[in-house]
Amino acid sequence: MRYPFALIALIGIGSTVSPAAAQQDVPPAPYAYRQLDDAAQEARAQALMETLRCLKCQSQSIADSDAPMAGDMRHQVRTRIAAGEEPEAIRAWLVARYGDYVSYAPVISETTWPLFAVPLILILVAAAILWRRLRGAR
C-alpha cells in the first residue's frame, strides 16, 4: 500500500521540475546572436548593448554575456533599432521594465541622489579635517 503513494509523490515532483527544465531548451531569439544587416543600425545597437547590464550575470553587459536573458535583451534591442526606435527610448523601456539597475549610465533621481551626494560630502569632510590638522600643526 505504501508504494502507490510514493509513486504518486514522484509523479507530482516530476511534474513540477519538468517545466523549469524545459525553459532551458527554448531556442535563442533570432537576433540574440545574429547582427542586423544594416551596419549603421548594428553599430547603434552595439553601442546601446554595451551600456546595459545583464541581469543574470550582473558584472557583464548584455553585449558580452552568454546568458539566455542577455540574448533576449539583445534581440529586443536589435529588433527595436531595426524598427527605427531611438536608443534612449529603448533604454527607457528597459529601465521601466527591469529597473534602474539594468543601465550602466545611472540617472540622478529623488531616490538615487544620496548615492552621488554622500561620497562628495565625505570627501569635503575629510578635506576639512585634513586642512584643520595641517593648519594646527604649523
CATH code of residue 40 = 1.10.8.640
Q: What's the structural domain count of the chain?
A: 2
Q: What is the pTM of this model?
A: 0.65
| pLDDT for the residue numbered 131 | 93
pLDDT in tens, 62-103: 999 988 989 999 999 999 999 999 999 999 999 999 888 898
Q: How far apart are the first and last CA of the chain?
A: 92
Domain that holds residue 136: 108-138
Same domain, 92 and 132: no
Same domain, 57 and 31: yes
* 26-43 mean pLDDT: 85
**Helix, strand, coil percentages for the chain (3-state, nearest 5):** 65, 5, 30
Categorize the per-residue pLDDT at 112 as very low, low, confident or very high, splitting at 50, 70 and 90: confident
